[in-house]
Amino acid sequence: MVLQANKERVKATERVLKENLTVPETRKLIKQIKAKYFKQEKTESNKVKTVIQKVRELSTESLADVSEEQLQELRSLLVEKLAEIDKLS
């Protein structure tokens, strides 16, 4: 594994120098090389964290003051998103 890593480093360095890659291009190349060897781990999304926090903040009292149409819209949206989540699991 160490020998293979050294080969990859040398090969990448030669390519960077030969093609005169920019820093962003070099980072992209390194990311591609790593992707070949490491299982892609899923990261936490700040958007999802925010939504989770907002849903937790919805208390029974706050929902009691909402119109029936808005409650139905919220329910439909949540059911739809749950179905999407189930497809991913």
Q: How confident is the model at residue 73 (pLDDT cuts 50, 70, 90)?
A: very high
Give the phi and the psi of residue 39 in degrees, each rounded to 5: -65, 130
E strands, 14-57, are none
Using a cut of 0.75, tell me whether the model's pTM lies above it: no
Q: How many other C-beta atoms lie within 10 A of the C-beta of residue 21?
A: 15
Pair (12, 31) in one structural domain: yes
Q: Which residue has the tokens 């964290």?
A: 49
Residues contacting 25, CB < 8 A, separation 6+: 19
Q: Which domain holds residue 82?
A: 46-87
Residue 20 confidence (pLDDT): 96
The count of domains in the chain is 2
For the segment 8-19, the average pLDDT, to the nearest whole number, is 95
Q: How confident is the model at residue 14 (pLDDT cuts 50, 70, 90)?
A: very high
Q: Tell me: pLDDT of 52 over 90.
A: yes
Pair (50, 21) in one structural domain: no
Pair (24, 57) in one structural domain: no
How many degrees, rounded to 5, is the angle at CA 29 between CA 24 and CA 30?
100
Q: How confident is the model at residue 45 (pLDDT cuts 50, 70, 90)?
A: confident
For the segment 23-32, the average pLDDT, to the nearest whole number, is 95
Residue 5 confidence (pLDDT): 83
